[in-house]
Amino acid sequence: MRRIIAFLIITAMLFSFPAFAATDETKVTVDGKQLQFDVPPAVVQGRTLVPLRAIFEALGATLDWDNPTKTVTGTKGSTTIVLTIGNKTATINGAKKDLDVPGTIINSRTLVPARFIAEALGAKVDWDAATKTVVIKSGAAATTYKVLRVVDGDTLEIEYNGAKEKVRLIGVDTPESVHPDAAKNNEFGEIASIFTKGLLEGKEIELEFDVQERDKYGRLLAYVWINGKMYNKTLLEEGYAKVATFPPNVKYVEDFKALQTVARDGNKGLWAYEEKATEPTAPSQSTQPTAPSTSETGNVLKVKAGENATASIQGTPGKEYTISVYYSSGASKASGLEPKKADANGNVSWTWKVGPSTKPGQYKVVIEGDKKIELTLEVE
């Protein structure tokens, strides 16, 4: 009987503590700066707990710890948070708030729920699954800079302290597109440049610096933030850049490598482009037309009235092409004939419906962009 009672007591004690897993993988950043902890964050029931002093001080709050009651009081401006370790109810300015998981003591360190503390102090919290990072934006007024011009995929020109300055993104490298030696420029560099222009040109950005603020060319070296997300990471995630890290500016090197691996494994962006570029060229077996360097004529697309016709070309990655189909009544305005940009592999195609009343015969199809291609649509 005593053994049974002892077993029940031990079992009850085990289940009175939340299951947790300490993890060196989970990171926490506040306004783009990674917090350093003396013990790693812990994940409890899907919630990230962090050492209490680090999170409170990073968000500009003062901290008071009452050891007998295991109660922490954090104060920032007019906000006061009171949280007792092991209690799933905390207070914010006296109002009770339920916690998903309570604060706890792990390996003699007091850990508190990161999201609750940050949001209670007016910060915004996001989760970056790709890098396993809790991203906290404190809400403090940040200095922003207008992007005047995108030089290429990884270099910007901004308005900085009343002058024009160039910014080179740290830790990433897109293919060349504006190098003085034209032989070093790359088609995909043009695509990366177009991508960056679309997201940053004319926009307000924030800059985060590392150890060195400028390179030997006098350019600012920075991590660029827009709408709460680091653009350096976006380039890697989408496959528009590769990791290019130069010490001592290595703050995010592990994150960057992880993102590059995901993009490469997913064959995204330049990874697909490079793979295609290294493939041996074989005679085409396709009946679809392909684009030469200047123009192409004589290709025939055969289709019956009322059916769909498809025209496909191999163009220049990132370039825009228009297509015009000339029937007896003039240029067609059918759906599917809108201008399109070639993908990372240079492929672009259009599919449209040939009207059921179209008379049998041959009609001209003209594709234009950085080259001109003339095809023949033969309606049977």
The pLDDT of residue 309: 85
32: left (phi over 0), alpha (psi -120 to 50) or beta: left
Average per-residue pLDDT for the chain:
82
295-379 — its CATH code? 2.60.40.1930
Q: What is the pLDDT of residue 13?
A: 41
Q: Is the pLDDT of residue 7 over 50?
A: no
The confidence score (pLDDT) of residue 358 equals 85
pTM of this structure: 0.47
Q: Is residue 334 pLDDT above 90, yes or no?
A: no
Residue in this structure with the two tokens 């102090």, named with its chain if needed:
121
Instruction: State residue 274's pLDDT score.
Output: 66
Bigger pLDDT: 50 vs 228: 50
What is the pLDDT averaged over residues 147-170? 95
- Stretch among 142-151, 192-201, 246-255, 307-316 having the lowest mean pLDDT: 307-316
Answer whether residue 282 shows pLDDT above 50: no
- Give the separation between CA 32 and CA 230, rounded to whole angstroms: 8
Q: What is the mean pLDDT of residues 164-168?
A: 97
Kindly report which listed range (144-153, 315-324, 337-346) carries the lowest average pLDDT score: 337-346
* Domain range summary for the chain, segments of one domain joined by +: 18-137, 145-277, 295-379
Q: Which of 3.30.457.10, 3.40.718.10, 3.20.20.70, 3.40.50.20 is the CATH number of 18-137?
A: 3.30.457.10
Domain 145-277, CATH 3.30.9.10 — does that match? no
Give the pLDDT score at 3.
52
Neighbours of 236 (CB within 10 A): 29
Q: For tokens 């998981």, what's the residue?
A: 101
Catalytic residues: 168, 176, 219
